[in-house]
Structure 1
């Protein structure tokens, strides 16, 4: 017996995916997972089914809940739950995938999404997210939620092409229980008192308890040999020894941990309060159970509900004081989390404050106190305290944590469920303007170029005098300048045009457009703009050009229910809008649809557009996908004695019809997806290169050309042709705003702009050289 114990002591203690194991097993394949999930072998990323099989019976040692979006300033409310093995997402509003990209949240192992509602606030980010995770290699995804999620996804198939991703839709009102090796999720259905057919889902989640530590002596007493059987016993599995004896895990392990539970609650309005109160017994039993501890409640409910007296009373009566609460959509949640957007805006602001104004969100945050960070671990010295002293010190810690929650949460606020450390603010997203400005001036030569720029152009002046004598309208505001999917600095396509003092028109509206307006202008001014928004134009039905439409229509309808928007779009968008209106929520009264095709022969004129400060709106078919259009707006405003004409290409290859439509334009806004070396790739994808876009402007004799819709490989600045080719040409950035007068001086910004992004543009040049060498090798191989 003693000899066996000595042998056991020689086995080294290792960690398998965060799960402490007492012995080193030299022959068992579980050894491959001897580090945390962030260091998983690459082949298991490529073969998720292999990984899933390996870990199917392993209880994770690390379980963390992370706020992806806190519902602040146009950001979504979304929570990411990740363990050593699996990932789960709760709600997926517009902008979720962009926040995940920004904060390096890996979506490639996402397996289940749980929706509390089927309305756009909860599911608006699902189309874009599905396309992203499909490209990341995800092949199966479970989507749980209220009825009609499956038909909504089917309706999206027209513009969301999922060739490799299988989405299993689970109606949580009929299938109310989900369970895997990590947790169980119970759906709690809440139905509207006034409209019982409408339902929302809350979720009760219970972690599988982690088995206790393996007891060496008991293992030896039961005759368990060193090897893989030890790992199975450690993970809570009973094993059979070679002689036929069965050893139960509970007989050779210490008592396991208390199972933790956490709850997601969504009560959209007072119509659902009675349904919530009817579930009081279930929540009370959960809180009082000795088998589990309710560690956290996450509230998706809007602020108006979380502050309601009956709602607060329900929480106080059915959850203990030890339960923490995270309130998404709270007024205390002050930051959207899009820090990279602010970084580049502060840098560009040094160039031209008039063209690159600071976002209202950052100005508002400067007046708020920084969020307090919570200390998660006590020093070793505190262990020496007596029990009474420890209790006295522990109480202020809990009070600090609750006070910290009351101050609001932001993206990357985390809650550690296992090990149970509670709230963690150390990785929270935050703004550091001083650092952004310092970075700009640290680049050699930039400070001198900025000083020269202030002498050369009024665009670099911040005073009101800089705007004297300049026409204010039309004002062109770029809300999204990237293609396909959003990245940290470029959202997908959307251009806001202020055609008159109290009139706005929107050209395309990719995912997150409304949020971009809120962050740029602030909540109050954004509401004014939404009231003054008169028309939305959709160039074609690719998702990156119109997924933001539903959010805009619902917001506009809430603010001005009696004033429908003019919607100019391909007729083929109608089935999608009608489905959403019929099955999800009413939007039919929020718009009047005029099909783009109807304007091919008969441009829109008269009273319908005069109130927008526009004389006529014309369209043409362009060379991209079926039912893709370009548009031309002739405004009532004049510049240098001539009517102002703005032409927008949508997505297209070089197109003669667009040249004719935009003949003699004041401003051409043209897509420039690819750099010039990628002309063949641009042709295959039916897009334009930068030089092709510039040539389109010259062919139509446009006075100014603005390039936009850059491939996301050009996150900061595209690879541009020579300076001579860039005369009267501007490149667009998100949150850039220009007038016709501003465009006259834009090219003066290029020396400082190129110096500011010198390191980045050098990387682009190196990529181009490597690409050319690769192509040269292919050509030589083809010749031989």
Structure 2
């Protein structure tokens, strides 16, 4: 084998030889492995089933692929989050509210996540941690390192009431102490920024250096050094020195070609002007990094807010301390109108065909089309030195030009799924960037048999009802209709009720609620909605019902500091809010807390709710978890001569107390987590099935029933009972809005709706048949 390899080295091109060499090394290693297997040792299972085996095997291997991916660009309520992934490890930089939903939509595998680095200990950068932790725990992750400013550990402790981590260990590391993180792939050096204000929290930036990949193995030198075929070749190739059986030490550097230049990349976060002097004090460290011959600074990612990025001192610092060839990526740009949640637009465009008033297009889509047509969002980012041979620009000597370019890029920013390839050196990659294709979404539905005909019939039926705008109140807007964790089409629980022309109230506030408001209404109208939002009701303390509260309180406090929100919630939420106010950011003035339990005997009425257009608010305990409540709102508005009454179940099994609370409701909004044949699973998880929820409405004699809180297995449309049972029943979708008048006609949508998602509902039926066959086999086995 050696002789053949040496002959190939004389005649084969370098790239071909390297490939052949690697194949030979793998073959040699396989021979050794096969030999061990023949000695009676069982071969290991697939690495996917034994992640620890894979991690141990690759712990010393320098990866051949290193990519940096913009998961969230910080636009329209989306988080600023960047995912670094290699052949064997994953790292997340910042984890704002909504990170896990973006990861799910864009198929970013969080199950391989090992380390999270955050720049600030504020909700902007850590608001997605509770949901992310629960998600990766379910995915089988057992250990994650959490690096960042102080108090991350106490924050996790304060969340333990609603974020139960039984199998996941999150090890917090205070990076302000200066300790450098290092593994076989990269080193991460924290850089601490401190504000001129003494009580302000420290902020971190991170300098990351990739371990250089060793050069190709020179087989001639290996033969001359006496290295035998086998695993030792792989160790030498990976940069490890080896000791031969005779005791001779062979150094990797002696038998390999010169390695690559180490690449560096930097994450910078400067929250306000008070941190600029601290940034200037770190200038020498960045300048030395850029000037070093041993490393090349390929990229700077800016988490800094846009008003800081365009600051003259900030821009001058970047121009002075980084070469013109360094690429800059700016998150949080106000000129970027796209959040990256493309799937929400897909389903909204499709539903919009049925009833434009009930399913309005998201304002974000209109803003996005205007932006792309006028400015061609983010396509002015300059080429980089990594793109040699592909039109790379020559650096300009005028220092004013880079500053001008940086300001232009800061205004435009990047979008979700913009990538930067560090290894191989390909630089910026836009091929996977999230985008909208409305025509494609609509054409998908018209390719379904019979849909076009049913849609035409529907449009004739509702021409004078569901097409024209309605000014009646209340208007019920569903911001999140899924359960437990968000998926790409259903966010977690949140319902916005417009009780009067200039008054809004929220029922539950799951993760990403504020972002949903921004994307639905657009930035300007969303500001008005937030200013007119007067009350938030939280049904219980499961994370999917209140994790969005901190972000919403912060935004509401910024827009209307003089008028605190009325917060109706279990009193047990108080320690969490007090901790956040004391240790992280001041939010005490943003709300006035009234415990749900206090309304059991004495409904809330009078001055506190008059301005909301509400006559009274009452609660009851429901059958779910401790301190879980249902609520009824009796409005001042009337329908058919009687006050409108809206009852909301929160999460619950069928509950007699809720039936009494909601007696004679105009509208019942009830959770319907499971389909009917999963009644036992629903009972175990203390939820309701679809038919149970409908029966609750009939028992309380509600005029209309809206089903929500569907299991995420029903991303589009759940399995529904017969059409007769759905006459006064509506199923909720994210971004759906209805009035009482609309609900009288909702049942007309079902033929077109079910036809549009016929393939999806057929798949649900097949799953149900398989479950029934499985249960039948179990019953027969039990009988025998």
Q: TM class by shorter-chain length?
A: over 0.9
**In the alignment, what sits opposite 1:457?**
462
Q: Does the aligned pair in 1 maintain the 2:383–2:393 contact within 8 Å?
A: no
Describe the SS at the equivalent of 1:646.
Answer: strand
Describe the SS at the equivalent of 1:21.
Answer: helix
Q: What is the CA deviation profile of residues 253-291 of structure 1, one whole-angstrom value per residue up to 9, with x for unaligned ones?
A: 111111000000000011111111110010111111111
Q: Residue 176 of structure 1 is aligned with which of 176, 179, 183?
A: 179
**In the alignment, what sits opposite 1:386?**
none
| CA apart distance, 1:175 | 4.4
Q: What is the CA deviation profile of residues 201-228 of structure 1, one whole-angstrom value per residue up to 9, with x for unaligned ones?
A: 1000000011111112211211212211
Q: TM-score, normalising length from structure 2? A: 0.93
Distance 1:676 1:758 in 2: 19
Distance 1:98 1:564 in 2: 29
**In the alignment, what sits opposite 2:39?**
none
Q: Which is further off, 601-610 or 187-196?
A: 187-196
Q: Does the aligned pair in 2 maintain the 1:62–1:83 contact within 8 Å?
A: yes
**In the alignment, what sits opposite 1:267?**
270
Structure 1 pair 758–747 and aligned structure 2 pair: CA distance change class (3 A): same
Distance 2:23 2:213 in 1: 15
Structure 1 pair 699–614 and aligned structure 2 pair: CA distance change class (3 A): same
Q: Does the aligned pair in 1 maintain the 2:703–2:728 contact within 8 Å?
A: yes
Describe the SS at the equivalent of 2:490.
Answer: coil
Distance 1:475 1:596 in 2: 24
Describe the SS at the equivalent of 2:540.
Answer: coil
Structure 1 pair 31–593 and aligned structure 2 pair: CA distance change class (3 A): farther
**In the alignment, what sits opposite 2:198?**
195
Distance 1:751 1:404 in 2: 48
Distance 2:198 2:266 in 1: 25
- The 5 A counterparts of 1:552-563 are 552-563=552-563
Structure 1 pair 506–406 and aligned structure 2 pair: CA distance change class (3 A): closer
| CA apart distance, 1:48 | 1.9
Q: Does the aligned pair in 2 maintain the 1:454–1:460 contact within 8 Å?
A: no
Structure 1 pair 413–30 and aligned structure 2 pair: CA distance change class (3 A): farther
| CA apart distance, 1:29 | 5.3
Distance 2:567 2:760 in 1: 39
Distance 1:515 1:571 in 2: 26
**In the alignment, what sits opposite 2:40?**
none
**In the alignment, what sits opposite 1:21?**
22
Describe the SS at the equivalent of 1:133.
Answer: helix
> In the alignment, is residue 672 of structure 1 matched against residue 667 of structure 2?
no
Describe the SS at the equivalent of 2:260.
Answer: coil
**In the alignment, what sits opposite 1:35?**
none
| CA apart distance, 1:459 | 7.3
Structure 1 pair 169–543 and aligned structure 2 pair: CA distance change class (3 A): same
- The 5 A counterparts of 1:378-397 are 393-395=391-393
Q: Does the aligned pair in 2 maintain the 1:93–1:120 contact within 8 Å?
A: yes
Q: Does the aligned pair in 1 maintain the 2:310–2:410 contact within 8 Å?
A: no
| CA apart distance, 1:100 | 0.3
Q: Residue 433 of structure 2 is aligned with which of 420, 428, 433?
A: 428
Structure 1 pair 197–363 and aligned structure 2 pair: CA distance change class (3 A): closer
- The 5 A counterparts of 1:316-355 are 316-355=319-358
| CA apart distance, 1:69 | 0.1
**In the alignment, what sits opposite 2:152?**
149
Q: Does the aligned pair in 2 maintain the 1:117–1:145 contact within 8 Å?
A: yes
Distance 2:294 2:269 in 1: 25
- The 5 A counterparts of 1:627-638 are 627-638=627-638
Distance 2:641 2:79 in 1: 46
- The 5 A counterparts of 1:286-685 are 286-369=289-372, 370-371=376-377, 393-395=391-393, 407-458=412-463, 462=467, 466-467=468-469, 472-685=472-685
| CA apart distance, 1:478 | 0.0
| CA apart distance, 1:376 | 13
Distance 2:639 2:419 in 1: 53
| CA apart distance, 1:24 | 3.6
Q: Does the aligned pair in 1 maintain the 2:383–2:392 contact within 8 Å?
A: no
> In the alignment, is residue 252 of structure 1 matched against residue 250 of structure 2?
no
- The 5 A counterparts of 1:687-698 are 687-698=687-698
Describe the SS at the equivalent of 1:205.
Answer: strand
Distance 1:725 1:18 in 2: 65
Describe the SS at the equivalent of 1:710.
Answer: coil
Distance 1:3 1:638 in 2: 93
RMSD over aligned Cα atoms: 2.7
Distance 2:246 2:8 in 1: 21
Distance 1:30 1:200 in 2: 52
> In the alignment, is residue 122 of structure 1 matched against residue 125 of structure 2?
yes
Distance 1:140 1:272 in 2: 33
Distance 2:114 2:66 in 1: 15
| CA apart distance, 1:9 | 5.5
Distance 1:775 1:154 in 2: 41
| CA apart distance, 1:132 | 0.5
Q: What is the CA deviation profile of residues 728-760 of structure 1, one whole-angstrom value per residue up to 9, with x for unaligned ones?
A: 100000000000000000000000000001000
Structure 1 pair 456–293 and aligned structure 2 pair: CA distance change class (3 A): same
Distance 2:232 2:609 in 1: 77
**In the alignment, what sits opposite 1:36?**
none
Describe the SS at the equivalent of 1:601.
Answer: coil
| CA apart distance, 1:26 | 2.5
Distance 2:79 2:19 in 1: 31
| CA apart distance, 1:461 | 5.8
- The 5 A counterparts of 1:84-103 are 84-103=87-106
- The 5 A counterparts of 1:40-119 are 43-119=46-122
Structure 1 pair 22–448 and aligned structure 2 pair: CA distance change class (3 A): closer
Distance 2:196 2:580 in 1: 22
| CA apart distance, 1:47 | 2.1
Structure 1 pair 121–505 and aligned structure 2 pair: CA distance change class (3 A): same
Q: Does the aligned pair in 2 maintain the 1:334–1:408 contact within 8 Å?
A: no
Q: Does the aligned pair in 2 maintain the 1:18–1:62 contact within 8 Å?
A: no
Describe the SS at the equivalent of 1:527.
Answer: helix
Describe the SS at the equivalent of 2:343.
Answer: helix
Describe the SS at the equivalent of 2:715.
Answer: coil
| CA apart distance, 1:689 | 0.3
Q: Does the aligned pair in 2 maintain the 1:239–1:248 contact within 8 Å?
A: yes
Q: Does the aligned pair in 2 maintain the 1:376–1:424 contact within 8 Å?
A: no
Distance 1:248 1:22 in 2: 22
**In the alignment, what sits opposite 2:734?**
734
**In the alignment, what sits opposite 2:748?**
748
Distance 2:20 2:681 in 1: 47
Distance 2:382 2:244 in 1: 43
Structure 1 pair 10–199 and aligned structure 2 pair: CA distance change class (3 A): same
Distance 2:10 2:691 in 1: 69
Structure 1 pair 47–375 and aligned structure 2 pair: CA distance change class (3 A): farther
| CA apart distance, 1:27 | 4.3
**In the alignment, what sits opposite 2:783?**
783
| CA apart distance, 1:45 | 2.5
Describe the SS at the equivalent of 2:277.
Answer: helix
Q: Does the aligned pair in 1 maintain the 2:336–2:377 contact within 8 Å?
A: no
Q: Does the aligned pair in 2 maintain the 1:19–1:61 contact within 8 Å?
A: no
| CA apart distance, 1:52 | 1.0
Distance 1:11 1:233 in 2: 23
| Equivalences, count | 761
Structure 1 pair 69–373 and aligned structure 2 pair: CA distance change class (3 A): same
